[in-house]
Structure 1
Amino acid sequence: MNDNAPQPPSRRSVLRTTAGVAGAGIGLGALGAGHAEAASPEAVAAAAATTEEAARAPRRRGATMAGVPFEGRSTVRVGIVGLGNRGGSMIDLFLALPWVRVVAICDPVREKAERAAAKVVAAGQPSPGLYTNGEHDYENLCERSDLDFVYVATPWELHLAMARSAMLNGKHVGVECPVAMTLPDLWELVDLSEQTRRHCMQLENCCYGRNEMRVLRMAHAGKFGELLHGAGAYNHDLRELMFSPTYYEGPWRRIWHTKLRGDLYPNHGFGPVANYMDVNRGDRAVSISSFGTPALGLAEYRAKEMPPGDPSWKESYIGADRTVSLVQTEKGRVIRLEHDVSTPHPYSRINSLGGTLGVFEDFPARIYVEPDHKGHQWGDFAEYATEFDHWLWKEHANPPGGHGGMDYIMTFRLMQCMQLGLVPDFDVYDAATWTAPVPLSHASIKAKGMPLPIPDFTRGEWKKARSGVDSAKPVT
């Protein structure tokens, strides 16, 4: 393994080649980010023209990153940017891996950084460098010469700048979802990854859920026959948390509901189903058509729970309480995506997959596949664990950390790939594809469900079969 990996192109040279080539696309939507007024025919035509342009890949300025391995190293040195609820818990998982060192941490709230630093020291590692001097101190963290990987867990609008800084300074980067908020920003991340030769990954933990990984292996083994349809969602009642004065650092997540009508968080649902269908690995997502309900839930919750004079009373919510999107793939398959964080309901990611031999549905998990089942009665999904559980779940049957252990499985696997010099399970093309429904669903809803093209971020590489989350156990 090579602990002194060759350096990527210089930050200056990449900045020269990326200036002005973020690519065509839409920002908050070609139809605007305003209220739910009907779109004019002219606006619909403009949306169609703009998104058609966005679907055409800009000229590649670097070789593909599909199938590119990490440089092996005995120790993976990590910097963490953002130490709120997510970053503050994920640091424990990095520290649980003996070949990982947390060498730098960043958050403008110094108390959070100091608490995280205490965890590092308690784990027997040297005290990390602290970067707490304002909103841009992450740039100084990224400039360190003793970092291999930067983990970003901050408000969504900051993801692009932080990922850009990491790659331009020679670091691989993993970003919590969504990876960026506009099509031009997604193209910029793709271009930067290719030019800097650094991986930029959407850290989609749900791809590593035990059920998701079992369904993935069953799909690849042909248990569902020819795949036809799938569904994924983020249906999670967040009203109390979004109005809490302490859970998030400020109202940033709630504010996004004043800007976009569409699916703000498609990755948890889209990522696993895309894996089942080998999207970007033999199939690709080609179009999306989205629909949204009126935006009533947050305002009704505010009226019941928030006192007069609370700053939230100045906000006007336009985000649809529930969005439903239909994604078509090149092979004709259909993926349904849902998003609802504004109304009362139990948690569900739906996580469904169907084919010519049967179907799986989650929350709760149930399965019906021929010839194993008959009489139109659901079967026991647990019966497939022995044969189809992924090797990661067999090796880590009771993983530590949140979300049922999927966070640890994801962290372990990513850090393992970096240590051993393996190809990552997903890459910048997956990050861009799984996030594209954010701006596109907004534009489609504003255009009354008009289908809009999803760019081919791989620039043709999707036609080639390659490895993904259904990975073989490495020989060490």
Structure 2
Amino acid sequence: MGTDKIKLALIGLGQRGLRLYYAAIKQREDVEIVALCDNYETRLKEFAAMLEKEDGKKREIFTDYKECIDKSGCDCVIVSTAWNAHIEISMYAMERKIAVGCEVGGAYSLESLWELVRCYERTKTPIMMLENCCYGRLELLTLNLKRKGLLGEIVHLEGAYRHDLREEVTTGEEKHHYRLMQYLKRNCENYPTHELGPIAKIIDINCGNKFDTLYSVSSKSVGLEGFVKSKKIEKLKGEKFAQGDAVTTVIKCRNGETITLNLVTSLARYYSRSFLAEGTKGLVCEENQSVFLEQDFPGEYFDWRSHFGNIEEYYKKYDHKLWVGGVNEIGEHSDIDKMVIDEFFDAVKNGT
């Protein structure tokens, strides 16, 4: 694209779209938002007014994503809508040679994923899943340790999305948040890529390895109903939520590794992705923020508590190059949002 600015259409202006703008898009001097699109006209106009107040520029606004893609003259789109629209919007853009950065989630069947693959093979239009956790510092440290051979051969990995979303889910109607209907109607592992994305990289999925089999089991669903009752949320009184409070998935890989995933989003708890990687020579554990390497700790260890938090020592020695020198941290997980969005725009700009 040379020195021209990248013309972006931002489709989906809810919580995620707003976060991506402030964490990453706003800082890019080589990116120009030319169009905004959202189903909800009030949210759309508020977002447009916010941008105009910041830089004095008016943007084209659309409530129909097809019109947005066809008429805005954009070079690329970022799709941060509700999950169920991700695939159809992405494919519509790809058919028109518009590069796509797609937020995580959205496929409701294997066939829809094959449709996306066939769309790429037909159009050769690039699409990138914007999985920010692939850029997490701990996850990239693990990748670095694995590549240096310090963990030995990886045998087992674990990850989770453990995040108290009870308020987000139960205020879905007034905040136009898609999770409410998802949790009322579906019961599944609905958000696996935060943990599975980094894991796939570490064990070379689609680069000589593959996920072979999986099964998922769900617990009962009582967390959201209890929250509705305790908070006296009248509009949801008596509603039965299909989504189980805890979903456990076990995956077996072609090269013999096992993976355990957990989804826990409707119980009282702290946030964690519960990352764990175990190899023949050591492990990395998020929950106690520690690294165990056989070369540094030979012999048996029955009490590991004194080494909780030793991960900082390993960051100093083995930090991934993307984290060396620090990252422009803005708050919460905005650092990894910035990294993934920068990768997307750099790829669009360089044609890679």
Give me the TM-score of the superposition, normalised by structure 2.
0.91
Per-residue Cα deviation, 1:213-267 (whole angstroms, up to 9, x for no partner): 12111112211100101111111111122112577315x3122123322211111
Q: Which residue of 1 aligns with 2:339?
A: 409
* Kept in 2: contact 1:218–1:224 (CA 8 A): yes
* Kept in 1: contact 2:248–2:262 (CA 8 A): yes
Q: Where in structure 2 are the equivalents of 1:17-416 lying within 5 Å?
A: 74-92=4-22, 93-121=24-52, 124=55, 126-132=57-63, 137-144=64-71, 146-244=73-171, 248-250=175-177, 252-308=178-234, 310=235, 312-313=236-237, 315-374=239-298, 376=301, 377=304, 378=307, 380-400=310-330, 402-416=332-346
* Kept in 2: contact 1:81–1:154 (CA 8 A): yes
* Kept in 2: contact 1:95–1:123 (CA 8 A): no
Task: Work out the number of aligned pairs and report it.
Answer: 345
Per-residue Cα deviation, 1:129-181 (whole angstroms, up to 9, x for no partner): 1113xxxx111111136312111111111212211221122111122221322
* One-letter code aligned to 1:239: R
The alpha-carbon distance between structure 1 residues 381 and 158, as it changes in their structure 2 partners (threshold 3 A), is: same
**Secondary structure of the corresponding residue to residue 272 of structure 1:** helix
Deviation at 1:328, TM superposition (A): 0.8
* One-letter code aligned to 1:96: Q
Q: Which runs of 5+ in 2 are unaligned?
A: none
**Secondary structure of the corresponding residue to residue 324 of structure 2:** helix
* One-letter code aligned to 2:258: V
Deviation at 1:76, TM superposition (A): 2.1
Deviation at 1:120, TM superposition (A): 3.8
Distance 1:145 1:321 in 2: 42
* Kept in 1: contact 2:85–2:106 (CA 8 A): no
The alpha-carbon distance between structure 1 residues 123 and 387, as it changes in their structure 2 partners (threshold 3 A), is: farther
Deviation at 1:268, TM superposition (A): 0.8
User: Highest relative contact order (Cα 8 Å, sep 6+), 1 or 2?
Assistant: 1
**Secondary structure of the corresponding residue to residue 410 of structure 1:** helix
Distance 2:193 2:326 in 1: 24
Task: Report % sequence identity.
Answer: 29
Q: Which runs of 5+ in 1 are unaligned?
A: 4-71, 423-476
* Kept in 1: contact 2:172–2:179 (CA 8 A): no
The alpha-carbon distance between structure 1 residues 361 and 171, as it changes in their structure 2 partners (threshold 3 A), is: same
Give me the TM-score of the superposition, normalised by structure 1.
0.68
* One-letter code aligned to 1:108: N
The alpha-carbon distance between structure 1 residues 214 and 307, as it changes in their structure 2 partners (threshold 3 A), is: closer
**Secondary structure of the corresponding residue to residue 175 of structure 2:** coil
* Kept in 2: contact 1:242–1:254 (CA 8 A): yes
Distance 2:4 2:314 in 1: 36
The alpha-carbon distance between structure 1 residues 274 and 245, as it changes in their structure 2 partners (threshold 3 A), is: closer
**Secondary structure of the corresponding residue to residue 230 of structure 1:** strand
Deviation at 1:124, TM superposition (A): 4.1
Kindly indicate which of the two structures has a greater share of residues assigned to strand: 2
**Secondary structure of the corresponding residue to residue 216 of structure 1:** helix
Q: Which residue of 2 aligns with 1:464?
A: none
**Secondary structure of the corresponding residue to residue 234 of structure 1:** strand
Distance 1:100 1:404 in 2: 18
Deviation at 1:73, TM superposition (A): 6.8
Distance 1:245 1:158 in 2: 17
Per-residue Cα deviation, 1:105-125 (whole angstroms, up to 9, x for no partner): 111333333333345445547
Distance 1:404 1:95 in 2: 12
Return 290-299 or 237-246, whichever deviates more.
237-246
Deviation at 1:293, TM superposition (A): 0.9
Distance 2:328 2:287 in 1: 20
Q: Which residue of 2 aligns with 1:20?
A: none
Per-residue Cα deviation, 1:164-206 (whole angstroms, up to 9, x for no partner): 2211221111222213222121111111121111122221111
Return 343-352 or 379-388, whichever deviates more.
379-388
The alpha-carbon distance between structure 1 residues 145 and 298, as it changes in their structure 2 partners (threshold 3 A), is: closer
**Secondary structure of the corresponding residue to residue 146 of structure 1:** coil
Per-residue Cα deviation, 1:279-316 (whole angstroms, up to 9, x for no partner): 112211111011111122122222222344x1x23632
Deviation at 1:317, TM superposition (A): 1.8
The root-mean-square deviation of aligned C-alpha atoms, in Å, is 2.2
Distance 2:191 2:326 in 1: 28
Q: Which residue of 2 aligns with 1:439?
A: none
Distance 1:110 1:257 in 2: 25
The alpha-carbon distance between structure 1 residues 217 and 73, as it changes in their structure 2 partners (threshold 3 A), is: farther
Per-residue Cα deviation, 1:394-414 (whole angstroms, up to 9, x for no partner): 255333354151111111122
* One-letter code aligned to 2:228: R
* Kept in 1: contact 2:172–2:180 (CA 8 A): no
Distance 2:72 2:12 in 1: 20
* Kept in 2: contact 1:400–1:408 (CA 8 A): no
**Secondary structure of the corresponding residue to residue 393 of structure 1:** coil
Q: Which residue of 2 aligns with 1:445?
A: none
